[in-house]
Amino acid sequence: MSGGNTFLGMPAFPRNAAAAVQDSQLRFNLRKATHTIRGKRASVVAELPDWAELRAAGKEIKDHTLRNLERYLLQMEEAVTAAGGHVHWAADAEEANRIVADLVKATGETSVVKVKSMATQEIGLNEALQAEGITAYETDLAELIVQLGDDWPSHILVPAIHRNRSEIREIFHDKMADWGRAAPEGLTDEPRALADAARLHLRERFLSTKVAVSGANFMIAETGTLVVLESEGNGRMCLTLPETLISVVGIEKLLPSWRDLEVFLQLLPRSSTGERMNPYTSTWTGAVEGQEFHLVLLDNGRTQVLADEVGRQALRCIRCSACLNVCPVYERAGGHAYGSVYPGPIGAILTPQLRGMGSALDASLPYASTLCGACFEACPVAIDIPEVLVHLRGKARHPRTERLGMRAAGWVFNRPARLARAQRLGGRFRRFVPGRLPGPLSAWTDTRDIPDIPAESFRDWWNRTDGGAR
């Protein structure tokens, strides 16, 4: 039994993607799944005549909250404490993991059940707890498949999107017994049979585990309420049955009031699962009778993102995954190539901002896009992902050859006379221009053709013919 995998030390995106596109099964699974969700989303979004207004409202609410984050965070802390909960502040992943491990140890328990949560994946909580002798059991169906398969999540909403049902049957059959109740004899790959096997396996876990760890989709500052949206009901079991509930939530998840939540309860389900509303919406405020409640407010790079005037819009993200489902790069490369729990377009702008661009992988992420703009169109909170990608590309370290090439191009383009001379020279010697550039520059021409240089430039043609009049 393993506690899970991490993405640390993966090579840069182009290498990961080059390997992933060779996997035709993966591409088939991804194409089928993303196109299905994409179609559902498009039809339910088209039903709402005021979708554009809702989107603008979502953007405005998030921007307002981020501008006043400190005030709303303090209001949240005060309200949770008044309702009998305990609030902890975590500057980074290490601190958050330490807080959660200490809280679990204080209960005397050695296992926790988990509600699907991106924040706890981001900080590597399962691995940190395992190092302390505490086992974290995922209860979301797709997260369970990833955990049993000792795999990595590859999609925000459907972490096992890269698996088809016969692969899932195999994982259940081979691995369930290592984690608790074994898969039933003669398990088939029918969706209902797989769901039943997961239900029986998880039910035992819910009834025997005394500590739960969750994230939250939203926090409402005016009352100190946390909100989780889900489809399976497993999250609600975790939130209500255990004696101790610990919620790890990114500080950007705040909303000022319940009125604001109304906007997001329309935007999120339609953008994520393509449903008019999600099947389960759980809300809770502080501690309830028989349950202790701890809220861990997680920064982990978010205030640094907030300081960047262009990049901060990434903090509006509500993790709906609509941008993944429309992205041509994600559809072909899959989620693992991004080397982070946040794959696809949002991962390409969020990960390098949260982790910095120190590693080859993180520096390559802003390039993991064609800049087609489909992600921006689909985003329910209007994050201009292409704008942030270009902004981050400007900040990334560029190879020396590229820097020299750009400097030379800048020198030529800076003066019209120089450009005209260069064009004339290019036309004269065009037969000697190779089809493939030499050395490190060949990476450019390996996947692109160098366009033919015309014998005469447009500028010279214009002068010779007086703009085509002669």
The nearer residue to ligand SF4, 149 or 343, going by C-beta atoms, is 343
Min dist. Cβ of residue 233 to ligand SF4 (A): 23
Instruction: Note whether 381 binds ligand SF4 by CB under 6 A.
Output: yes
Tell me, residue by residue from 267 to 306, as one string, x for binding to ligand SF4 by CB under 6 A and - for no binding: ----x-----------------------------------
Q: How far is the CB of 396 from ligand SF4 (least distance, A)?
A: 20
Give the separation between CA 96 and CA 89, rounded to whole angstroms. 8
**β-pair partners for 429:** none
The C-alpha atoms of residue 75 and residue 312 are separated, in whole angstroms, by: 22
User: In one letter, which amino acid is 453?
Assistant: I
- Output the smallest distance, CB 379 to ligand SF4, in A: 3
Q: How far is the CB of 349 from ligand SF4 (least distance, A)?
A: 8
Reduced to 3 states (helix: H, G, I; strand: E, B; else coil), residue 134 is: coil
Site string for ligand SF4, 244-273 (x = CB under 6 A): ---------------------------x--
**Residue 176 belongs to what H/E stretch?**
helix 165-179
Residue 250 pairs in a beta bridge with 298
> Alpha-carbon distance 315 to 4, whole Å?
27
In the complex with ligand SF4, the residue whose CB is nearer, 198 or 323, is 323
Residue 75 interacts with ligand SF4 (CB under 6 A): yes or no: no
Does the footprint of ligand SF4 cover residue 317 (CB under 6 A)? yes
Binding of ligand SF4 at residue 365 (CB under 6 A)? no
Q: Exposed, middle or buried by CB within 10 Å (0-12, 13-18, 19+), for 443?
A: middle
Please report how close the Cβ of residue 441 comes to ligand SF4 at its closest, in angstroms: 34
Residue type, 312: R
Question: Could you write out the DSSP letters of every residue in 204-254?
Answer: HHHHH--EEEE--SEEETTTTEEEEEESSSHHHHHHHSSSEEEEEEEGGGE
Calculate helix-pair angle for 165-179, 191-208, nearest 10 degrees. Answer: 20
Name the residue nearer to ligand SF4 (CB basis): 346 or 363: 346
Q: Which residues contact 202 (CB under 8 A, 6 or more apart)?
A: 139, 144, 234, 237
* Binding status of residue 20 toward ligand SF4 by CB under 6 A: no
Q: Is 392 in the site for ligand SF4 (CB under 6 A)?
A: no
Nearest to ligand SF4 of 153, 380 (CB atom): 380
Q: Which is nearer to ligand SF4, 312 or 319 (CB)?
A: 319
147-206: which residues touch ligand SF4 (CB under 6 A)?
none
Reading the block at residue 102, the tokens are 């200490």
Contact in structure between 132 and 105 (CB atoms under 8 Å): yes
Is 383 a residue that touches ligand SF4 (CB under 6 A)? yes
- For ligand SF4, the closer CB: 183 or 318: 318
The residue range among 16-24, 333-341, 373-381, 401-409 that interacts with ligand SF4, by the rule CB under 6 A, is 373-381
Return the residue of 57, 69, 346, 374 that touches ligand SF4, per CB under 6 A.
346
Q: Considering beta carbons, is residue 175 or 319 the nearer one to ligand SF4?
A: 319
CB of 250 to ligand SF4, least distance (A): 12
User: For residues 318-337, which are near ligand SF4 according to CB under 6 A?
Assistant: 318-323
Nearest approach in angstroms of CB 91 to ligand SF4 is: 24
Q: Judge contact between 218 and 74, C-beta under 8 A.
A: no
Structural tokens at position 177: 């017994």
- Phi (first) and psi of residue 171, to 5 degrees: -60, -50
225 has which bridge partners?
220, 285
Q: Which stretch binds ligand SF4 (CB under 6 A): 59-67, 292-300, 375-383, 435-443?
A: 375-383
Output the smallest distance, CB 93 to ligand SF4, in A: 21
Q: How far is the CB of 97 from ligand SF4 (least distance, A)?
A: 25
Binder among 141, 187, 379, 388 for ligand SF4 (CB under 6 A): 379
Q: At closest approach, how far in Å is the CB of 338 from ligand SF4?
A: 13
At its nearest, how many Å lie between ligand SF4 and the CB of residue 380? 6
- Report the residue number, 10 or 317, with the smaller CB distance to ligand SF4: 317
Q: Given the rule CB under 6 A, which residues bind ligand SF4?
A: 271, 317-323, 346, 378-381, 383
